[in-house]
Amino acid sequence: MDERPTHALRGKPDASMRVMLELVRSGRAKACVSAGNTGALMALSLYVLKPLPGIDRPAMVTAVPTAKGVCHLLDLGANVDCSAEQLYQFAVMGAVAAEAQGMLRPRVALLNVGTENIKGNQQVKLAASLLQQAEGLNYIGFVEGDGLYRGEVDVVVCDGFVGNILLKSSEGLVSMISARIEALFNEGFVSKLAGAVALPLLKRLRGELAPARHNGASFLGLQGIVVKSHGAASAEGFQSAIRRAVIEVRENLPQRLHGRLEDLLL
């Protein structure tokens, strides 16, 4: 896991990642799922499968639970530094991926430190200008982190540095709250009794918010389907990643993206 991506690219032609990507490129497999080194998987995917026309670099996207369902968040770490044009491409790909999951005219927003037009760094402001001119894209402006979890948008776009921190922080917060609630219900007889009464609801809530249920980040923008699983995923988590790959195969997501990119990319 600590090897450089270039080592996997140049020095390991028989590595399992390389073999599975070659199977997808040859058509012997429809998709691939890996829990391995993210950087190596991205480098090999770019080399073996190639990006779709009009895409500079693929972006990692996953569905994050919100108060009203889920929100598609990208990029999650594949691209730490992004230009305005790349953020624009991520928005287009995120919208198409959300549509493939059954959303009609998904609301797209840029993650920012405020919702006002004067807020944000230069890249975010330039990306907003590009998105405002995009016909056929339901761009609604900036959104803050709390707006994401309130379900105000369906697709949230940011660079990979911010996206990865947001995702990992969210997973840690869910785990911490679950542990605190469990500890509170075990403090005494009355607390245990209350916990027993609330147990069915707590199990349901934990199931809805559990990171394992939402495990699996897609590499959007490739000429093939690649899904990255969390390295510490349980069997249930890996099942979620495989399920995401199956949906993308069923929806023929790369071809669907290719068709929409021609219409939406500048």
**pLDDT given at position 134:** 83
What pLDDT was estimated at residue 155?
Answer: 96
Per-residue pLDDT for 204 more than 70? Answer: no
Check whether 136 has a pLDDT greater than 60: yes
Mean pLDDT of the chain: 85
pLDDT value of residue 175 = 77
First to last CA, the chain: 37
Residue-wise pLDDT tens digits, 77-97: 888 889 999 999 999 999 988
* Chain centroid to CA 131: 20
Q: Which helix (H) or strand (E) segment is 15 a member of? A: none
| Residue 242 pLDDT | 92
pLDDT of residue 199: 66
Helix (H, G, I), strand (E, B) or coil at 192: helix
- Cis-peptide, bond into residue 75, ω within 30° of zero: yes
pLDDT of 27 strictly over 80? yes
What would the two tokens of residue 248 be?
């993308």
pLDDT tier at 103, thresholds 50, 70, 90: confident
> Do 88 and 74 touch, CB atoms closer than 8 A?
no
Domain ranges of the chain: 5-264
Q: Is 81 left (phi over 0), alpha (psi -120 to 50) or beta?
A: beta
CA dihedral sign, ordered 176, 181, 184, 186: negative
Instruction: Report CA 99 to chain centroid distance, whole Å.
Output: 14
Condensed to tens digits (0 to 9), the pLDDT of residues 218-256 reads 999 999 999 998 877 788 888 889 998 999 999 888 988
Which comes out higher in pLDDT, residue 5 or 251?
Answer: 251
CATH of 5-264, one of 2.160.10.10, 3.40.718.10, 3.40.50.170, 3.60.10.10: 3.40.718.10
Residue 212 banded pLDDT, cuts 50, 70, 90: low
pLDDT at 56: 85
Return the pLDDT at 64.
Answer: 87
Beta strand pairing call for 225-228 and 69-74: unpaired
